[in-house]
Structure 1
Amino acid sequence: MADGLKIAIWVDADACPAPVRDTLFRAAGRTGLALTLVANRLLRVPPSPHIRAVQVAQGFDAADRYIEQAVSAGDLVVTGDIPLAAAVLARGAHALEPRGEWFSPDNIHERLQMRALMNELRDSGVVSGGPAAFSNADIRSFAAALDGFLARRPAR
């Protein structure tokens, strides 16, 4: 936040569900805030002076690295990636999962540990599969969390 008041929203868009992107597009149009989707593939975004898509090079965590370098304190990052969430929290930004749950300094260490444990269990074959399918309840939870955040902060 260069001037201490204005925010931007950054989206780790490679795995971001379409309903979440649509919710963010509407929010950017309604509030005039800067919305940037970052992915290693070409993304279509609606024509708007407030919305842009950035295509980064192919490669492991290229979008994450771009967001980490670009984010400012007070900005919002939408991501399901726990290490990225930890990095942006360390920079004073906010991190929100597409399912509407907040990452915070109070829960990020536990979430990183749980991620490591689940990776270990998957690698050993004890656990298979991933998270439950994205649902309408997830969309509502995300929209409510985003609206609450926006109601408390001015737009860039």
Structure 2
Amino acid sequence: MQILVDADACPVVVKDMLYRAAQRAEVNVTLVANQFLRTPPSRFIKSVQVPSGFDAADNRIVEMATEGDLVITADIPLAAAALDKGAQVLDPRGTWFSRENIQERLTMREVMDQLRASGIDTGGPAPFSPQDGKTFAGQLDRFLARHVRKPGSEA
């Protein structure tokens, strides 16, 4: 099991939580972005820089994802593709994407895109809040407790 992060738009506070979790749980965390990312020195943390281009990072994450991995993204089409690969998907605000809710989210995204294309200001997501960070941290901790066995622990 590995954690793959759609890092271009991922809040710094979430990346910091993932760095600490990688060390604590001894799980590999890979950040994928269109730009160079500085990461702490760790055998559990790495970054992958992809060429600039539409969905280049998303496509790389989907290529790397396998069943049982955790993907961190707010990108709904990427979440759908990762779910299709058998990964679990958590957004940086701590909300899970699932087979049960992904179609509704894809449909809502399409509706919002159509509204914006017709000139309607739909606003945007609310700023990332401290509560979002707490929710993400709680969901990440619960996931790791269920899915990661540290070396030497009993099965």
Is 1:82 matched with 2:76?
yes
| Aligned residue type for 2:112 | M
SS in 2 for 1:95: strand
- Residues 66-124 of structure 1, C-alpha deviation per residue, up to 9 Å, x if partnerless? 00011110000000000000001011100000000000000000000000001111111
Pick the aligned partner of 2:111 from 111, 117, 122.
117
CA distance in 2, matches of 1:155, 1:24: 17
Aligned equivalents of 1:148, 1:124: Cα separation in 2: 42
Paired residue secondary structure (1:77): strand
Q: Secondary structure at the match of 2:111?
A: helix
Q: What secondary structure does 1:10 align onto?
A: strand
Cα RMSD of the aligned pairs, angstroms, is 1.0
Cα-to-partner distance string for 1:33-78 (whole Å, 9 max, x where unaligned): 0000000000010000000000000101100000001111000000
Matched, 1:126 2:128: no
Q: What's the counterpart of residue 45 of structure 1?
A: 39
Secondary structure (helix, strand or coil) at the match of 2:32 reads: strand
Aligned amino acid, residue 77 of structure 2: P
The CA distance in 2 between the partners of 1:97 and 1:13, in whole Å, is: 11
The whole-number CA distance in structure 1 between the counterparts of 2:97 and 2:7 is 17
2:56 is aligned to: 62
Q: Which has the higher contact order (CA 8 A, sep 6+)?
A: 1
Tell me if the contact between 1:100 and 1:143 (Cα under 8 Å) persists in the aligned partners: yes
Q: Which moved more, 1:126-135 or 1:67-76?
A: 126-135
1:28 Cα shift? Answer: 0.2
Q: How far apart in 2 are the matches of 1:136 and 1:155?
A: 29
Query: Take 1:44 and 1:109, find their aligned partners in 2: how far apart are those partners?
Result: 35
Tell me if structure 1 keeps the 8 A contact 2:6–2:58: yes
Aligned length: 150
Does the 8 Å contact 1:33/1:155 carry over to 2? no
> Match of 2:67, as an amino acid?
A
* 1:13-32 equivalent positions in 2, closer than 5 A: 13-32=7-26
Identity of aligned residues (%): 57
1:105 to 99, 118, 142: 99
1:129 CA displacement: 2.5
In structure 1, the gaps of 5 or more residues are: 1-6
Change (3 A) 1:124 1:147: same
